[in-house]
Amino acid sequence: QQILVNDTFYPNKESAFIHVEDRGYQFGDGVYEVIRVYNGRVFKSFEHIQRLYRSANEISLSIPFSQNDMMSRLEELVNRSGLGTGNIYLQISRGAAPRTHAFPSTVESVFVAYCNVKERPEEMLSNGIKTITTEDIRWLRCDIKSLNLLGAVLANQQAHASDCYEAILHRDGIVTECSASNLFIVKEGTIFTHPANFFILNGITRQLILELAVKNGIKIIERPFTLEELFNAEEVFASSTTIEVMPVIQIDNTIIGKGKPGQLTKKLQELFSQAISSSLY
Ligand code: PMP
């Protein structure tokens, strides 16, 4: 396994080191991305890198190299790792400095990236996942892909403790997204998903789903929906880089769509798979 720290490649996790006063470690002061690789090709790399630079900009963290340079580093990482299908994890922290909340006057950001082998979750994609609902206790800038993930960690842990894969989050009964994915419901043939504002992360997969739906004449509307609408939906699905278009077949004790992935969900899965295939040429 190759670990990239700034400009240096290390042969394994044991040989790469992060300073104990790294602000990513102490404050969650940094941003990250998870990017999918299919057959050695980085999927939607431009979109992920753009979002990374946007997230960094929103927390006044300047990345000391260009987006093109970032792209080349990631491609080199994938090549050196010999990765076929899997994930790239990358993060940038504000850097290491004596501990104090405000930004240090001199500090150099620390960039880390590595890959993991991970096949597509075929079994879950065919059968769907179980979920729970829980209050969205995260901060008010969920549009930033920040290293502060405690709200998401606690919600996801709650799901796992109930033998579920995801936690669906709501603020006062308005559904926002899930702990690590976006959420969609289908009502009378129309898809609804929360608008991209401060309350959700605007998923790259979410954006691709919107694009695929529009191109294929599937009605999709960005508007907030309630827990009641969620429980009464004909179909529900979640989306992310790692879970793609994932059918939700149970929410708390409610079975959705007779416990099977719905028609529109399956249609979008098919379109998504085609998008992956065409990215490989
Ligand atoms: N929302 C949250 C809170 C997430 O953590 C993620 C996955 N990182 C997503 C949505 C989905 O984003 P993407 O499709 O870009 O992976």
The Cα–Cα gap between 245 and 239 comes to 5
Residue 278 has pLDDT above 90, yes or no: yes
Q: What was the pLDDT predicted at 258?
A: 93
The Cα–Cα gap between 201 and 241 comes to 12
241 CA distance to ligand 1 middle (Å): 7
The Cα–Cα gap between 189 and 109 comes to 47
* Residue bearing the CA closest to ligand 1, atom 13: 203
Closest residue by Cα to residue 174 from 153, 195, 155, 156: 195
Concatenated DSSP letters of the chain:
--EEETTEEESSGGG----TTBHHHHH--EEEEEEEEETTEETTHHHHHHHHHHHHHHTT---SS-HHHHHHHHHHHHHHHT-SSEEEEEEEE--B-SS-SSPPSS---EEEEEEEE----HHHHHH-EEEEEEE--S-S-TTS-BS--HHHHHHHHHHHHTT-SEEEEEETTEEEEESSSEEEEEETTEEEE--SSTTS---HHHHHHHHHHHHTT--EEE--EEHHHHHT-SEEEEEETTTEEEEEEEETTEESGGGS--HHHHHHHHHHHHHHHHHT-
pLDDT-based confidence at 140, cuts 50/70/90? very high
22 is written with which tokens?
């790294």
**Which of the listed residues 169, 181, 210 should we mutate to test ligand 1's pocket, taking the one with most ligand atoms within 8 A of CB?**
181
240 lines ligand 1 (CB under 6 A): yes
202 lines ligand 1 (CB under 6 A): no
Q: What was the pLDDT predicted at 281?
A: 78
Q: What phi and psi values does residue 187 have, to the nearest 5 degrees?
A: -135, 120
Residue 108 has pLDDT above 90, yes or no: yes
Q: Does the interface ipTM go beyond 0.85?
A: yes
The Cα–Cα gap between 272 and 281 comes to 15
The Cα–Cα gap between 265 and 269 comes to 6
pLDDT in tens, 60-77: 999 999 999 999 999 999
State the amino acid at position 80 in one-letter form: R
240 CA distance to ligand 1 middle (Å): 5
Q: Which domains does the chain have, with CATH numbers?
A: 3-119 (3.30.470.10), 123-279 (3.20.10.10)
34 lines ligand 1 (CB under 6 A): yes
pLDDT in tens, 21-62: 999 999 999 999 999 999 999 999 999 999 999 999 999 999
Active-site amino acid positions: 145
Residue 1 has pLDDT above 90, yes or no: no
CB 226 within 8 A of CB 174: yes
pLDDT in tens, 239-266: 999 999 999 999 999 999 999 999 999 9
pLDDT in tens, 176-230: 999 999 999 999 999 999 999 999 999 999 999 999 999 999 999 999 999 999 9
pLDDT-based confidence at 232, cuts 50/70/90? very high
CA distances (Å), 78 to each of 19, 73, 201, in order? Answer: 25, 9, 25
Ligand 1 atom nearest the C-alpha of 208 is 14
**Which of the listed residues 33, 197, 241, 245 should we mutate to test ligand 1's pocket, taking the one with most ligand atoms within 8 A of CB?**
241
Q: What was the pLDDT predicted at 203?
A: 98
Sheet holding 41-42, edge to edge: 8-10, 3-5, 110-117, 86-93, 30-38, 41-42
Q: pTM for this structure?
A: 0.98
* Residue bearing the CA closest to ligand 1, atom 12: 203
Average pLDDT, the chain: 97
106 CA distance to ligand 1 middle (Å): 32
Longest dimension (CA), the chain: 58
Structure-token match 């991970």, residue found? 118
